[in-house]
Amino acid sequence: MSQKHTVKSYDDDLKQLRALIAQMGGIAEAQILSAIEALQRRDADLALRVIEMDISLDNLESDVEKMTVNLIALRAPMADDLREIISALKISALLERIGDYAKNIAKRTSVLAQYAAIEPMIIIPEMGRMVSRMMSAVMGAYSSRDSVSARKIWAQDRDVDNFYNSIFRTLLTHMMENPHHITLSTHLLFIAKNIERIGDHVTNISEIIHYNVTGNVIPDVRPKGDMTSYVFNPASIQDEK
Amino acid sequence: MNKQDVSAVKMTALNCNVYYNEKQAIKDVTIDIRADEVTAFIGPSGCGKSTFLRCLNRMNDTIAGCRVTGDIKLDGEDIYGKAMDVVQLRARVGMVFQKPNPFPKSIYENIAYGPRIHGLISNKTGLDEVVKNSLQKAGLWEEVKDRLNESGTALSGGQQQRLCIARAIAVNPEVILMDEPCSALDPIATAKIEELIEELRGRYAIVIVTHNMQQAARVSQKTAFFHLGSMVEYGATTDIFTNPRKERTKDYITGRYG
């Protein structure tokens, strides 16, 4: 924001809105990291804490919603202010959803904690950390209004998709070879899918940041690398280049 | 610009400058006013938007010490040229002011006066027709049809303003200039004027000066932002209000000005 508004309380409102989004981003990121850690350590207590954390994101989302409606009704925002407010509304919904995915990972983790670890369990946390790094970077881009970083993060979604393709292939093969691991593997597959979905949402957030800052949408076609919807034979999954 | 666009241009100003004695009020403004659109001029007080509006039908001629340079054309014809009849020009380019200013005459006479002195119509039946037609176009007919002989000044503010619009319409203008037409009206009367502007769009080129940015956003298709006598930015209204290109425009419309 280049210059201050003539009506100072308007600036305070916008600052508060941005602070709410930053807070949501922080919680969502912590949820992802904790969910991943719980999975890695097969720690049911930590998983439970992740599940309990989710309510605070839901409450914050509803705060953001109230605040944006008030701002629109009372301030009649224009231009970059309008984009700022609409962006906050959309980002808060995405962050809330990201929290839900983390919560779902945690729920499945409490089941997995009862089984012995299997080999694919080791690489999923790596994918989770990749996505949490993107998450942290995207919130940084939000705070610093950095459309260039936002665009870089946006391009990283392909790596997440490729990671997911590889896990999908591994798990399918694993299930074929060890049918008594199917329950476990299915949970892991959903966990990987949840992480992949978080990556998609982070990509959406970077698009919104780009629009918020520049007033323009990212001109490129969005990278789409998740090929698993078309799979018949696991060996046929090819990574997108 | 394609051919169709050129044909829709009603008025053009090219490098227009306006001086009040030594003081320059308008600096090098170039703009096209399209026949099929509402154009809004916005900007802080004293930015020159009303001064520029008043150049478009030579209302500034009446101000001592006011000098206009550059070209302003109506259908390609120089309105400051020797051949231009100013009275005729002001019939073709009508004007509605900030404060409603009906003549202290009957509602009927307020409308009939223009067509009569311009010699457009003289017989009673013809005038009746014009009065009814103009009041209908201005959305006032239903409210006043039974009291056409009452004084125009007895109407409410919003009705008076619509009467003034009907009066402008009665002489068959091509362009209607509105200088803050709603600033003296309540929100309901304002909404009626805005609805009227929407209905008149397409039949007349409309230029509106307004301090109310929401109003500019609601009624216009093109918006020009004036600041310190210059036209800072001109473009599609949706672009100006969602993604202005110039920092000064952004600061003004978002309430960060000065």
Q: What are the structural domain ranges in chain B?
A: 3-253
* A160 part of a folded domain: yes
Q: What is the pLDDT of residues A164-198, one digit of tens each?
A: 999 999 999 999 998 988 999 999 999 999 999 99
Name the closest residue on chain B to residue A82, using Cα atoms: B242
Collapsing DSSP to helix, strand or coil, B15 comes out as strand
Q: What is the mean pLDDT of residues A57-73?
A: 95
Q: CA of B192 to nearest chain A CA: how many angstroms apart?
A: 21
Q: CA of A82 to nearest chain B CA: how many angstroms apart?
A: 7
* A2 part of a folded domain: no
Domain that holds residue A100: 8-236
**pLDDT of B4 above 70:** no
Collapsing DSSP to helix, strand or coil, A43 comes out as coil
Phi, psi of A106, deg, nearest 5: -65, -40
Q: What is the pLDDT of residues B132-150, one digit of tens each?
A: 999 998 989 999 999 999 9
Nearest to A206, CA basis, from A35, A62, A37, A90? A90
Say what the pLDDT of residue B7 is: 67
Average pLDDT of the residues of chain A: 91
Q: From CA A89, how far away is CA B31, in angstroms rounded?
A: 38
* A241 part of a folded domain: no
* A218 part of a folded domain: yes
Any idea what the CATH number is for the domain that residue A142 is in?
Answer: 1.20.58.220
Average pLDDT of the residues of chain B: 92
Q: What is the mean pLDDT of residues B19-30?
A: 95
Contact B250 A80 (CB under 8 A): yes
Total number of domains in chain A:
1
Contact A82 B242 (CB under 8 A): yes
Say what the pLDDT of residue B3 is: 46
Task: Closest CB to A7: pick one of B213, B243, B255.
Answer: B255
In this structure, are residues B253 and B226 in contact, taking their beta carbons and an 8 Å threshold?
A: no
Token pair belonging to B229: 């006598």
**In which band, very low, low, confident or very high, does the pLDDT at B2 lie, cut at 50, 70 and 90?**
very low
In this structure, are residues B10 and B73 in contact, taking their beta carbons and an 8 Å threshold?
A: no
Residue B216: its chain A contacts at CB < 8 A? Answer: none
Q: What is the pLDDT of residues B59-116, one digit of tens each?
A: 998 899 999 999 999 999 999 999 999 999 999 999 999 999 999 999 999 999 999 9
* A15 part of a folded domain: yes
In this structure, CATH architecture of domain B3-253:
3-Layer(aba) Sandwich (3.40)
In this structure, are residues B107 and B152 in contact, taking their beta carbons and an 8 Å threshold?
A: yes
* A1 part of a folded domain: no
Q: From CA A204, how far away is CA A94, in angstroms rounded?
A: 8
Contact B254 A79 (CB under 8 A): yes
Complex ipTM: 0.70
Q: Residues of A38-71 as b/e, b for ≥16 C-beta within 10 angstroms? A: bbbebbeebbeebbebbeebeebbeebeebbeeb
Strand-pair partners of B176:
B94, B206
Q: From CA B110, how far away is CA B97, in angstroms rounded?
A: 15
Nearest to B52, CA basis, from B74, B25, B32? B25
Q: What is the mean pLDDT of residues A136-153?
A: 95
Q: What is the pLDDT of residues B184-223, one digit of tens each?
A: 888 888 998 999 999 999 999 999 999 999 999 999 999 9
